[in-house]
Amino acid sequence: MGQKIAAFFVIFFLILFVGLQFFVPHLLSGIFSSIATPFWQAEFAIGSGSLRSPGSLVAENEDLRRRLSDMEMRMGSILSVEKENEELKALFGITKTTPNIIGVISERQIFVNSSSSTSTPSLTGTNSEERRASGKILAPVLVRPPFAPYDEFVVSGGEDMGFAPGDRVYASEQVLIGTISEVLSRTSKVLLYSSPKQTHQVLVGSGNILATAVGRGGGQYSAELPRSAQVKEGDSVIVPSLWDKPFGIVNAVISDPAQPFVTVLFSPPVNIFQSRWVLISK
């Protein structure tokens, strides 16, 4: 008799279970999960060290903070080096995908004044043979406008590097930006072509119209051209006989109907005031 009741109970129980699952599918899962969840949370908390002493937790917290700080400092250093690397590659026109970058840099005889106060590392060496062989020297920009007045750069390297007044200075992408105007023992001053009143012969636009560019300061130039010259924004400006790379890009063409000339405003294709390195050609 008892077994019959038991069997009936089991069957009834199974039918109840099936019915519940059919009509309220999440009821049993919700109930049993709510029972098990506190145990799971407790297990997780114990596994996470919640039962450890406050002292050990504080010590671990301190240790983690210190490690995080170290990592952040290291990350900052890595980002700085990465940025510097990109700038150096841009200076030499090396794309990111160029293989054997070290080899290319080595062939080009990059040299950095390791004795300068900027503690800039030497990339390939410091001997004078390398320097003379290359004719191009990489120099870090120590001061630049607006901190340096008169539209000039102060670069690391001077007499110790063999710089001389008149040496040409290139920004990234090998854009000619100025010449060395004064050489000191460990530093040199670079007078930018865009310095006020500086004049240069340039060829403007696709017609290579000869004009005189006048520096306006701040990396800006102006030149006057005949009205008949078909010059438009975006035209390139090059320097005859010096360098075939763009000297500038036309930013604006100012035309006054009362004047026979148009004024062309142009600037270097790169922002020279963001340059951290320059190339100096002897």
Toward other proteins, which CB reaches closer, 31 or 71?
Answer: 31
Strand, helix or coil at 242? coil
Among the listed residues 181, 174, 195, the one whose alpha carbon sits nearest the alpha carbon of residue 238: 174
Radius of gyration of the chain (CA): 35
Which of 15, 24, 31, 71 touches other proteins by CB under 8 A? 31
The residue range among 14-22, 114-122, 139-147, 157-165 that interacts with other proteins, by the rule CB under 8 A, is: 14-22
**Amino acid identity at 243:** W
75, two tokens: 């990350």
Percent helix, strand, coil in the chain, to 5, is: 35, 30, 35
Which of 8, 19, 24, 29 binds other proteins (CB under 8 A)? It is 29
Nearer to other proteins, 36 or 143 (CB): 36
Q: In the chain, where does DSSP find H-type helix? A: 2-23, 27-47, 54-91, 101-107, 128-134
Nearer to other proteins, 12 or 150 (CB): 12
Tokens of 263: 């004024």
Choices 37-45, 79-87, 134-142, 160-168; region in contact with other proteins by CB under 8 A: 37-45
The residue from 10, 57, 68, 75 that contacts other proteins (CB under 8 A) is 10
Applying CB under 8 A, the span of 26-34, 47-55, 221-229, 258-266 interacting with other proteins comes to 26-34
Q: What is the contact surface with other proteins in residues (CB under 8 A)?
A: 3, 6-7, 9-10, 13-14, 17, 21, 25, 28-29, 31-33, 36, 39-40, 43
